[in-house]
Structure 1
Amino acid sequence: MRPATVFIDGDQGTTGLQIHDRLRGRVDIRVLTLPDAERKNPQRRAQALDASDVAILCLPDAAAREAAALVSNPATRLIDASSAHRVSPEWVYGFPEMAPGQDQRIAQAKRVSNPGCYPTGAIALLRPLVAAGLVPADYPLNIHAVSGYSGMGRAGVDVYEGPDAAGAAAFQAYGLGLAHKHVPEIAAHAGLSQRPVFLPSYGAFRQGIVLTVPLHLRLLPAGVDAAALHASLAACYAGQRHVQVAPLAEADDAARLDPQILNGSNDLRLSVFSNAAQGQVVLAAVFDNLGKGAAGAAVQNLDLMLAQRTLADGVS
């Protein structure tokens, strides 16, 4: 079988460069690239998109919509790493572990929307618990997350790694207008009926995320405790290669979460911390914002789609 042709539209951004790195050396894939002078030429981009088995869009939202509209070849399949199509019913949400059979829906899809970095952690924690009735869909949720500065894209890397890096902030919260574009995505795919408060921030490290969701047990259904929440997550992700649930941790002030511990991988680690005496629980997710939160997830989805291509060719 010939190698699959993959075009990365927007391959000079942080996600595109990471995807290139992850595909380097693979003999089952031929990465199609355009010369620098042609990267913004709509005609050449359209030709590259139509020449691809799978094209990955690493573009701002408006540009991703434009790129999708440029495709005229019905055989070209798309993975969109932007947030342009994450709540669109015409696009399959690219979180393979999100629900039973989601990996097969991705494998067979023509259009896949890669999850956002923060939503990956929030949805992984909340969707199983909401679906099981352990966390009410209308719970007044607060979601806090700290990402490495690469989450800002090339601009963030330039600030923190450029000549003026000494003046870069050690920590900065943002999204204080409480209208972050990830909120509808989190609510839709976690099964929430009420909009959560989402407060993201950046730290002075390159990549990695810690995302936390505090819960009050008194606001959960009767009998729900940390053990029940942990057991539900553990059952949901049992046997998953890229999602692990850490052992339950209770009232341990020495516990720490390192946002960089999974950097370079496509793994996501979920934890439940609790203080039964206070009736409080914290759900936590740690992962690489450029791995499971972006490029790693895109390559995982790409592999699912290419495996379906191999299967289809074998059948034919």
Structure 2
Amino acid sequence: MAKGSIPSVYIDGESGTTGLQIIERLQGRADINLRSLPPELRKDPAAKRDIFAEVDVVILCLPDDAAKEATTLAASLNAQAPRLLDASTAHRVNPDWVYGVPELAPGQAAKIAAARRVTNPGCYPTGGILLLRPLVDAGLLPKDYPVTVNAVSGYSGGGKAMIAAYEGEGAPAFELYGLGLEHKHLPELQHFSGLTRRPIFVPSVGDFRQGMLVSIPLHLDLLAGSPAPEALHEALAAHYQGSEYVRVLPPETNGKLEPEALNDTNLIELRVFGNAKRGQAVLVARLDNLGKGASGAAVQNLDLMLGLNAGSQMGKAA
């Protein structure tokens, strides 16, 4: 039950990239009372405790350790504790939190709506999971398939230091990273895709501010029944039929795809590029790493948690 006639929301970490984008998406919304603290009080424990007790939902846009501290603070308020929506990686595979991908499986949106604690997904896993999970659930992709996920993101996903480097001088035009194969998004990517074998994940960053492509190559003869590429497309289309934000589209005829087409939306596009003669396919997701991959997803989850239907929110398709 809301603490006021209009549900109130506080963003802990509002000056970061995700926090600023959430504020931008919520501006002008008459159905949400967006609260804030003066900059000099945002790290003051007493001030944070007071505002936590006053609002309905706190969105955590913090580093992992700070998100855990904020969670402990919220829990100490007992009956006055706000609901939490955590944009960090701190709780993404914690069974006490609900994973914030409404399209994950039937009933997931209802779980988010009812939850006291929701963990917002990572940008890379959003693309990978939405491609893989329907194929695993349909029995087409074996759970122990040796999955490799390749992805490229705009530099805004790397935080303030990376943004400064790319908008200054000296940053490379393109680079691979995470080559120690211990990227922090791997646990949620494996868990919520339904895989028993740990996937190989190779992220990269390009010299563009935002936008993302996530691609997953497949050998069709290693899948159940050696399906044609069209069967993979059909499984994805069936899973996301009627989805507001997930679009399953045919492959581009020129065999190309650029990463920025969905910037400033909360959409994600899924495609299956295939060569039946060669028995190969590539699954591709395109999204805005700051939209469906971060702040757009947060607003979508917030609306579910508050029982709001904000069809005019920033991030919906034009």
Aligned to 1:53: 56
Aligned to 1:264: 264
Among 73, 79, 83, the residue aligned to 1:77: 83
Compute the TM-score of the two structures, normalised by the length of structure 1.
0.93
Asked whether 1:275 is paired with 2:275, we answer: yes
Helix, strand or coil at the partner of 2:169: helix
Amino acid corresponding to residue 154 of structure 1 in structure 2: K
Asked whether 1:159 is paired with 2:162, we answer: no
Q: Give the whole-Å Cα distance in 1 for the aligned partners of 2:40 and 2:10.
A: 16
Aligned to 2:104: 98
Alignment size in residue pairs: 303
Aligned to 1:179: 182
Compute the TM-score of the two structures, normalised by the length of structure 2.
0.93
Q: Give the whole-Å Cα distance in 2 for the aligned partners of 1:80 and 1:268.
A: 21
Aligned to 1:122: 128
Helix, strand or coil at the partner of 1:153: helix
Asked whether 1:142 is paired with 2:148, we answer: yes
Aligned to 1:31: 34
Aligned to 2:315: none
CA RMSD after TM alignment: 1.4
Aligned to 2:117: 111
Helix, strand or coil at the partner of 1:167: coil
What is the CA-CA distance between 1:4 and the residue it aligns to? 1.2
Aligned to 2:250: 247
Among 4, 9, 16, the residue aligned to 1:6: 9
Aligned to 2:290: 290
Amino acid corresponding to residue 123 of structure 1 in structure 2: I
Q: Give the whole-Å Cα distance in 2 for the aligned partners of 1:148 and 1:73.
A: 40
Kindly indicate whether the alpha-carbon contact (under 8 Å) linking 1:142 and 1:213 is maintained by their aligned counterparts in 2: yes
* 1:207-235 residue CA offsets vs partner (Å, 9 max, x unmatched): 11000000001211224121111100000
Amino acid corresponding to residue 281 of structure 2 in structure 1: V
What is the CA-CA distance between 1:308 and the residue it aligns to? 7.2
Aligned to 1:313: none
What is the CA-CA distance between 1:44 and the residue it aligns to? 1.2
- For residues 213-252 of structure 1, the aligned pairs below 5 Å read 213-248=216-251, 252=253
Helix, strand or coil at the partner of 2:11: strand
Q: Give the whole-Å Cα distance in 2 for the aligned partners of 1:168 and 1:3.
A: 45
- 4+ residue runs over 6 A deviation: none
Helix, strand or coil at the partner of 1:129: helix
Helix, strand or coil at the partner of 1:34: coil
Asked whether 1:132 is paired with 2:138, we answer: yes
Q: Give the whole-Å Cα distance in 1 for the aligned partners of 2:291 and 2:166.
A: 20
Identity of aligned residues (%): 56
